[in-house]
Structure 1
Amino acid sequence: MGISRRGALTAFGAGIAGVTVGGCASAQGRAVTQQTTSAPVRTAATPTAAAAPDLGTLARSLGTRLVQPGARTYGSAHQLFNPLFDNRKPRAVAQIANESEVAACVRTAAAARLPIAARSGGHSYAGYSAPNGALVVDLARLAGVRVHPDGTAVIGAGARLGSVYSALAKAGRALPAGSCPTVGISGLTLGGGVGVLTRKYGLTCDRLRSLRIVTADGTVRTASADQEPDLFWALRGGGGGNLGIVTELTFATVPAPRLTVLTMSFPPGSAAKVFDAWQRWLPGAPAEFWTKCTVTSGAQPAARIAGCFTGNAKAFAPLLAELRKRIGIAPKTVHTEEKDYGAAMRFFAGSSARETFHATSAVLTAPLDAARLTRLARGKPGVAVMFDALGGAVSAVGATETAFPHRTALATVQIYSGTDQARVRGIRDGLGLPGSYVNYIDPGQPNWAQAYYGGNAGRLRAIAEKYDPHRLFDFAQGLSRI
C-alpha cells in the first residue's frame, strides 16, 4: 500500500505519508555567539572581485554531462521533485560521475565566485538545491550501496531511499530512515532523518559512522568521531547544503526485523478526541512502536493513525488494543499486517511521481490543545497536519551530542497542502509550537535559526566559519546567515 503526500489529504492510510519527504532539504538557523577553536579552512580561491563564471575547463572535462542553458536536456536536468521550482535557471548542472569531479566543481565555483549547490534527491522544500545562476552538482550517479559482512553499509550520496532499502533488505539489514522512495539519503541524513523505525533505532544520522565530503577549499575529507569531529557533529542534524558536498556515507545498520504495520481511520468530527488521546498515550508507548497521527482539514476535521511495530502481529495486538481503548472511538477502518523489512518499507513508500506542494513544520514538545488544532483545521480544505512520533531511541541521545536539537520532543509536525502556502503557515503560527524541523525547511519560518537548531545554532555557525569562511555554500537559510 503506497501513498503519496497528496494522498494524506484524501486516501485511507494517509497518516503514513510524508514521513521524511523533506528529509533531503537543506537549512540552517540564526542567533547566538560562537567560538572557533582552530584557523579557518582556506577556500580554493579567495578573489577580491567578482569574475565572469568560467566553466570552460569543467565543460571540457565533463562534456555533455555539464548541462547548460540551451541544451536539449537542460529543462529536465535542473528539475526538482516539486514542479513549483521548474522556473529556476541554474547556470549549469554538473552530472558528476565520481568524487574527483565533485572537487573540480567546488574549485571551479570558488574560483569564479559562482554559487554552488548539491542535489541528491531534489526534495528541498524551498528549492535550495536548484538556485538561479548557480552551478548545481547532481549526485545521482553516486548511488552505489555496498553492505559489508559486519553490517556496515557504504552508500553514495546520490542514492534514493527506494534503492537503499532494496539493497539493505537483500543483505538482511535495515536502516532507520524516511518513507518517500525518491528522497536522497544524503539530504535526509544531514537534517537528522525521521521515519518508521526512528523510535526503535534512532534518527538516520544516529546510525552514521563517517562521511566523505568536499569542503569549500576543494579538499576531500573524511568526517567521523575521530577525524574532523566538529564537522562530523555538524553534519548530523545541521542540514544539507552548508558545509560542503557529501559524496559518501557509512552507516552501522541493524539486522532486518520482522515488522507489523498499522493504519486506522476515524470518522469526520472525531479529530480532537483521537489526537488528544494519541498525544497523551505516546510518551508511555514502547520504543518498538512508532506511530503517526494525521489530522485532515475540512468542515469536520478527521484523523488517521499509522504505525510500525518492530515485532510480530501477536506481540503488537495488546498495544493496539490499549491505544484503541485510550481513543474510545470506533475506527472506520483498521488494517494490520505482518511484513518483512523490505515489504514494510514498500508499504510506506508512496508514489515516486513529482508532486506540487506547500509545507512547513513545527515540533511538538508537550501536549497540545486538541480543540485549538481542530479549530485551525476547520474550514481550510486541502491541508494535512501530520505528527510523527519521536521519543524512544531518539531521546537516548543528548540534545548537544549531535546538531539535531529536538531530542526530548514528542513529535515533529509537518503541515502540508497541495495548493496554499498561506494556509499551512497560518496553521503553524496558530499552533504556537516552538521549534521546526530543518528537513521541512520553509523560507517563511520566523526566527528560523532558533527554530531549527535551538542551542546548537552558535556552534554550527562557528563550524561553518571554519570550513567555509568565504561563504561559498551560502544560501538564504544557510549556516552563514545565523
Structure 2
Amino acid sequence: MNAQLNGLIVTKESPNYETCCLSWNRAIDKHPSMIIYCQQTEDVVFAIHYVREKRLPFRVRSGTHHYAGYSTGDGVVVIDVSRMDKIVLTDQSVTVQGGVRNRELYEKVCQAGYAFAGGGCPTVGVAGYTLGGGWGYSSRLLGLGCDSLIEAEIVIASGEVLTVNQKQHAELFFALRGGGGGNFGVVTSLTYRLSQKRAIATLINIDYPHQDFEKVAEVALIYQTLFHGLDRRMNLKMAMYHSDGKGRGVKLTGLFYGQKEEAAMLLSEFSSAPLFEVREMSVLEANREIQDSHPDFEMYCSGGRFVMRDYTRDEFINMLNLMEERAQGSVYTALTLYGLGGAISDILGSATAFYYRDARFILGFQSVFEDRKYKEENILFVQERFSTLRTYTKGSFINFPIEQGENYEKEYYGDNLARLQRVKRTYDSDHLFNFEQSIRG
C-alpha cells in the first residue's frame, strides 16, 4: 500500500509541539520529528506502513512514563495511542484501548465494585504497565497486571492486526506478558479477567522521618521478615530515603484487602512509628488516595533489580550508605523494596515473559532533582551505585530500565530470553521495532 497517515499529526511547526514532547519524567528532553496521535486501530496500521515505507526510525508511546525515555527520541516518529481511551466493562472482564491510563481504569472498574491489579501512578499507560509485567499494591492477591490479561489486539511489523490469546498466537501472547513495551508491535487493545468484587480495603501509611540509618536498617529487617508468612491480601512497598524535607528515614505504603483492625495486627511491629495510619475505605477511595499522592510530573533517574534473599543488618547498612551523600541537586534519593510473592509466585517463571517469579522484592534506586542542569550528575550517581547494588541482587526489571551495556536482554528476561528472541524473529524478522533496549532477535 502507499504510505499515508491518519490521526492527528504534530510536527515542529505545530503550536502545541513542545507540550506534546513532554515526558512525565521531565529529565527526558527529546524532540521527535513527528508525533502521530492515533485515534483508532486503522490509524496505527497506516502509521506502521508509513514508517516502514519511508524507513523512518520510530517509537511507540501511550502514557509518556517510560523511565528512561525509550518511548520517544530526537528526530524519530512517535506513534502515540493515548487518544485511544475507550473502556468496555462486562461481568467477567474489562477491555481497554491502548491509551487508557491507570486512573481511568480504576474509576471504571472500582466503581463497579471490582479490585484490579493495576499500578499506583495515575497517568501510567495500562498497556506499558502490563507489557512489562505490572507491579501494584494488589499484586500479591491478584497477580501482576499481565497475569489478568486474557487477550490483546496488536499491530505487528507487517501492519497486520492480530488477536492474541492462549489459543491464537500463543507464543506472542506469552511475550506480551512481561516482555516489555515496543518490542513486538503496537498494542491497541487489552482484555483483562476481573476478580471477585471487594467492598473494602485498608490503606497503610507508616513513616519514620529524621532517623539514622541504623534505625532504618532495623525497620528494614522487620519488613523483610514480615514477608515470610505475610497474608497475600496485603502488599507493601518500603522506601528507605534521604530527602530534603525529612532527612534520612523509611516509609511503608501499602494496601490490605480487609478490615483495618486486622491490618493493624499484622503490622503491630511498626505501631511505634512516628506516623502509623491504617484507614479503612472503599477500594476506589484507596486507589484514589494512592494515585493522588503522586506528583503531576517529576525529574529523576532510576533503575530496578530483583531481591532473591534476605539481607543482614550489615548489608542493609552498606546499601543505605550509598545514600549518605546525595547527588548534586538531588532533593530525594531512595532505595525502595516493592513486595512480591503471593499470587505472583504461584505462576512459573517460564509461563510468562516475566521471569523473576521467585524474587522476594523488586529493588528500585532513584534520585530526584528539580533542575535539569543536574541531570548528568544524578545519572552518574545512580549508575555508579547501581554497580554496587548488582552484587546484592539478580536480573533487572524491564519497567524500571537503566543503561547496562550489551547484556541487558539477559538481565531483563533471564532464561526466557531465547524464547522471546524466537518470537521476535517470527513477528518482526526485520527488527522494525527497534529502540535502545529492544529485544534483538
Tell me the TM-score normalised to structure 1 length. Answer: 0.83
The yes-or-no answer on 1:318 pairing with 2:265 is yes
The yes-or-no answer on 1:425 pairing with 2:408 is no
| Residue correspondence of structure 1 range 173-192 to structure 2 within 5 A | 173-192=114-133
Aligned residues of 1:256 and 1:341 also touching (Cα < 8 A): no
Residue 474 of structure 1 corresponds to 434
The yes-or-no answer on 1:377 pairing with 2:319 is no
Residue 17 of structure 2 corresponds to 74
**Aligned counterparts of 1:320 and 1:437: Cα–Cα separation in 2:** 28
Residue 414 of structure 1 corresponds to 364
**Secondary structure of the corresponding residue to residue 290 of structure 1:** strand
| Residue correspondence of structure 1 range 52-451 to structure 2 within 5 A | 57-58=4-5, 61-62=6-7, 65-86=8-29, 88-148=30-90, 150-257=91-198, 258-267=200-209, 268-269=211-212, 270-297=215-242, 301-321=248-268, 323-324=269-270, 330-349=272-291, 350-351=293-294, 353-368=296-311, 369-380=315-326, 382-419=332-369, 420-431=378-389, 432=391, 433-444=393-404, 447-451=407-411
**Secondary structure of the corresponding residue to residue 356 of structure 2:** coil
**Aligned counterparts of 1:398 and 1:151: Cα–Cα separation in 2:** 25
Residues 416-472 of structure 1: CA deviation (Å, up to 9, x unaligned): 111312222233222221111100111246732122111111111111111111111
User: Displacement of 1:171 after TM fit?
Assistant: 1.7
Residues 85-136 of structure 1: CA deviation (Å, up to 9, x unaligned): 23x2212111111001100100111111112221110111111111222221
**Secondary structure of the corresponding residue to residue 173 of structure 1:** coil
**Aligned counterparts of 2:342 and 2:193: Cα–Cα separation in 1:** 18
**Secondary structure of the corresponding residue to residue 120 of structure 2:** coil
- Give the letter aligned to residue 400 of structure 2: Y
- Give the letter aligned to residue 194 of structure 1: W
User: Displacement of 1:242 after TM fit?
Assistant: 0.5
% identical equivalent positions: 29
**Secondary structure of the corresponding residue to residue 286 of structure 1:** coil
Aligned residues of 1:199 and 1:289 also touching (Cα < 8 A): yes
User: Displacement of 1:374 after TM fit?
Assistant: 2.0
**Secondary structure of the corresponding residue to residue 366 of structure 1:** coil
Aligned residues of 1:113 and 1:472 also touching (Cα < 8 A): no
**Secondary structure of the corresponding residue to residue 108 of structure 1:** helix
**Secondary structure of the corresponding residue to residue 162 of structure 1:** helix
**Aligned counterparts of 1:428 and 1:279: Cα–Cα separation in 2:** 21
Which fold has the larger relative contact order, with Cα–Cα distance below 8 Å and residues 6 or more apart in sequence? 1
How many residues were matched structurally? 417
User: Displacement of 1:353 after TM fit?
Assistant: 1.4
**Aligned counterparts of 1:310 and 1:351: Cα–Cα separation in 2:** 22
**Secondary structure of the corresponding residue to residue 240 of structure 2:** strand
Greater shift in the superposed pair: 332-341 or 377-386: 377-386
Greater shift in the superposed pair: 347-356 or 398-407: 347-356
**Aligned counterparts of 1:166 and 1:112: Cα–Cα separation in 2:** 40
CA shift in 2, pair 1:227/1:117, >3 Å: same
User: Displacement of 1:379 after TM fit?
Assistant: 2.4
Residues 46-80 of structure 1: CA deviation (Å, up to 9, x unaligned): xxxxxxxx97x32xx44xx1112211122222322
User: Displacement of 1:343 after TM fit?
Assistant: 0.6
Aligned residues of 2:270 and 2:276 also touching (Cα < 8 A): no
Aligned residues of 2:333 and 2:367 also touching (Cα < 8 A): yes
CA shift in 2, pair 1:249/1:89, >3 Å: same
Residue 415 of structure 2 corresponds to 455
Greater shift in the superposed pair: 374-383 or 178-187: 374-383
**Aligned counterparts of 2:407 and 2:71: Cα–Cα separation in 1:** 22
Aligned residues of 2:299 and 2:368 also touching (Cα < 8 A): yes
User: Displacement of 1:265 after TM fit?
Assistant: 1.3
**Aligned counterparts of 2:225 and 2:233: Cα–Cα separation in 1:** 17
User: Displacement of 1:298 after TM fit?
Assistant: 6.6
**Aligned counterparts of 2:72 and 2:14: Cα–Cα separation in 1:** 17
Tell me the TM-score normalised to structure 2 length. Answer: 0.91
**Secondary structure of the corresponding residue to residue 297 of structure 1:** strand
Residue 48 of structure 1 corresponds to none
**Aligned counterparts of 2:347 and 2:299: Cα–Cα separation in 1:** 35
**Secondary structure of the corresponding residue to residue 479 of structure 1:** coil
**Secondary structure of the corresponding residue to residue 394 of structure 2:** coil
**Aligned counterparts of 2:243 and 2:186: Cα–Cα separation in 1:** 42
Aligned residues of 1:116 and 1:137 also touching (Cα < 8 A): yes
Residues 206-243 of structure 1: CA deviation (Å, up to 9, x unaligned): 00000000000000001100000000000000000110
**Aligned counterparts of 1:130 and 1:120: Cα–Cα separation in 2:** 10
**Aligned counterparts of 1:370 and 1:351: Cα–Cα separation in 2:** 27
**Aligned counterparts of 2:153 and 2:298: Cα–Cα separation in 1:** 31
Residue 374 of structure 2 corresponds to none
**Aligned counterparts of 2:323 and 2:243: Cα–Cα separation in 1:** 7
Aligned residues of 2:303 and 2:364 also touching (Cα < 8 A): yes
